[in-house]
Amino acid sequence: MNLPNLIEAKSRNRKDYNRIDYKIDDSIINKYKGKTFFIKTYGCQMNEHDTENIKALLIDLGFSEVDNYLNADLVLLNTCSIRENAHNKAFGMLGRLKHLKEEKKDLLIGLCGCMAQEVGVVEEILKDYKFVNFVFGTHNLYQLPEILDKAIEENKQQIEVFSREGDLVEGLPVVRANSYKAYVNIIYGCDKFCTYCIVPYTRGRERSRKKEDILNEIDKLIEDGYKEVTLLGQNVNAYGKDLYDDYNLGNLLEDIALKDIPRIRFMTSHPWDFTDKMIEVIGKYPNIMPAVHLPVQSGSSRVLKLMGRRYTRESYLELFHKIKDTVLGVSISTDIIVGFPGETEEDFNDTLSLVEECKYDNAFTFIFSEREGTPACKLKDNTTLKEKEDRLQRLNEVVNKYFLENNKKLENTTLKVLVEGISDKKGMYYGYSETNKLINFSGDRELNIGDIVEVEITDAKTWSLDGRLI
C-alpha cells in the first residue's frame, strides 16, 4: 500500500526523474477477455487525455468498453479535485455504486485521478468506502494493469498512490476519443502554487516531455489523418524550462507549425511565462489558431498578490493588449474566481472593470472553493456565500454581454469551421471556428467529420453562431 502524503507532494527538491518506456507484462495481456468497463471522467482536458490512456490499458487487459455503468464489470472514476463540487460529484457516484454493488457482488470499483492524490480522500475511502477495490494516483497511472490484476487476484483493496512524481512515461497506449482532433501532453505538473489551487499537489512538479517525443507523436497523428492537435499542460508556457536552455514553447510551436497540420491549439497559458517570442510565433503561422486562454482570476492587484499569481492588473492588461495587437483577429478567453478570501466589493469592481476593458470571447467563472492543504484556506474570509453568489451573477451578466457583442461582429462574415458532427437540430452540422467559437450550420452537400469548410455566419447568439455552408 502507498498512501498519499502532503509533505512529499509539496516537495520540489528532486531534480531528475526517469524517462521510461511503457511495457505491459505479457502474462496479463488479454487475461480479462470478456469483461467490460465503464469510465467516468471529471475535470480538465488533462484528465480526459489520461482517460484515453486508461481505456487503452484496460483494452490491453482484455476489457471492452460499455456506455452504461449499470452494464459494466468494472466502473472506474477518473476524478478531479479543483473545487468542492467536483469532489461531491465523485462521492455521489461512489454512493450509487455502493448500492449497485450490494446487488452485484462481483462489481469492481476503482478510483483514480487528482482526488486519489489527496490524503483526506484516501483516508475516507479506507474508512467508509471499503467496497472500492483499488485506487491509483496521477503519477502511477501506467501501473493500472498490475494494480487491477492484484486487486482481482488477491480480492483485497489496493491503494497505490505515489506523492512524489517518479517517472515520465513514454509510449503509453492510447484510444483517442476523436479521429480528427487529438490532445498531446507537452508538460506535466505545475510549480506555480497559486494559493487557492490544489493542482501542484495532485500533479507534481513541472516536467516537460522531450521535444523529439512530442514531434514524433504529432508526425504519427498527421500520418493518421488528424486535423487538429491541442498541446496540453497546466501551464504550457513553462514548456522546456526544466529541460532545455534555449528551447521553449515558442520554439516548439514553430516546429509544429512547419508541419502539415491544419490546426494547432494549446492550453493553458499562465500570463507570467508568456514571452514575446510566443506571441510573435502565434501571429506568424496561420495554422496556430488565434485563440488564447489567458486566465486572469481577478482584476484587483491586491487580490492577485494574495492569490500568488505573480502579475498585477497592469502587467496583465499590458500582455493582453500586446497579444490583441500582434495576433490578428485573436479571441481571448479567461478564468475568473470571485469571493477569494478577503475580496472586497472594491476588489470585485476592479474585476468587473477589467472585464469591461478586455471584453473576453469566453470566460469560465467560479466561486472560490476552499481546498484542504492550500495556503488560501488559512486566510480570513468575511464574505458570505450569498454575497459571493451575487458577485458571480453580476460577473456573469457582464461576461455574457461581451460574448454576444463579440459574436454579433461576426454576422455576415465567413469563418473556417472544422466539422465535428451533426447537432441535435435536424440537418445542422456543428464545428468550431479557428477562434474556437461553436458554429451550427446548414449545408446542401454531404460533409465528413474532420472536413474544414467555409461557413457564412447568419445569426449570432451568446454561446454559439448559426451559419450556412458556402
Contacting positions for ligand F3S (CB under 6 A): 43-44, 46-47, 80-82, 113-114, 198-199, 202-203
Span near ligand SAH by CB under 6 A; candidates 33-41, 159-167, 365-373, 408-416: 365-373
Q: Smallest distance from the beta carbon of 374 to ligand SAH, in angstroms?
A: 7
Distance separating alpha carbons of residues 279 and 134, to the nearest angstrom = 45
For residue 357, report the phi and psi dihedrals to the nearest 5 degrees. Answer: -80, -40
Distance separating alpha carbons of residues 165 and 188, to the nearest angstrom = 10
Q: Smallest distance from the beta carbon of 434 to ligand SAH, in angstroms?
A: 22
Q: Is 297 in the site for ligand SAH (CB under 6 A)?
A: yes
Strands (E), 141-203: 158-160, 167-170, 181-185, 187-188
Distance separating alpha carbons of residues 218 and 228, to the nearest angstrom = 10
Distance separating alpha carbons of residues 107 and 131, to the nearest angstrom = 9
Q: Is 369 in the site for ligand SAH (CB under 6 A)?
A: yes
Q: Smallest distance from the beta carbon of 45 to ligand SAH, in angstroms?
A: 10
- 3-state SS assignment for residue 350: helix
Q: Smallest distance from the beta carbon of 233 to ligand SAH, in angstroms?
A: 8
Q: Is 107 in the site for ligand SAH (CB under 6 A)?
A: no
Can you say whether the dihedral through the CA atoms of 447, 453, 454, 458 is positive or negative?
positive
Of 61 and 198, the one with the shorter C-beta distance to ligand SAH is 198
Which of ligand SAH, ligand SF4, ligand F3S, none sits in contact with 316, Cβ below 5 to 8 A by type? none
Place of cell 457516484: 93
Residue 421, classified by CB atoms within 10 Å of its CB into exposed (0-12), middle (13-18) or buried (19+), is exposed
Q: Is 45 in the site for ligand SAH (CB under 6 A)?
A: no
Q: Smallest distance from the beta carbon of 235 to ligand F3S, in angstroms?
A: 11
CA-nearest of 176, 84, 168, 174 to 121 is 84
Which of ligand SF4, ligand SAH, ligand F3S, none sits in contact with 43, Cβ below 5 to 8 A by type? ligand F3S
Q: Smallest distance from the beta carbon of 193 to ligand F3S, in angstroms?
A: 14
Distance separating alpha carbons of residues 377 and 69, to the nearest angstrom = 36
Q: Is 268 in the site for ligand SAH (CB under 6 A)?
A: yes
Distance separating alpha carbons of residues 450 and 228, to the nearest angstrom = 9
Question: How many other C-beta atoms are found inside a 10 Å radius of the C-beta of residue 123?
Answer: 12
Place of cell 454561446: 463
Q: Smallest distance from the beta carbon of 90 to ligand F3S, in angstroms?
A: 11
Enter the C-alpha cell of residue 307.
Answer: 492569490
Span near ligand SAH by CB under 6 A; candidates 216-224, 278-286, 349-357, 367-375: 367-375
Interface residue with ligand SAH among 196, 239, 311, 360 (CB under 6 A) is: 196
Of 136 and 196, the one with the shorter C-beta distance to ligand SAH is 196
Interface residue with ligand SAH among 137, 250, 295, 431 (CB under 6 A) is: 295
Q: Site residues (CB under 6 A) for ligand SAH?
A: 82-83, 196-197, 234-235, 268, 270, 295, 297, 335, 337, 366, 368-369, 371
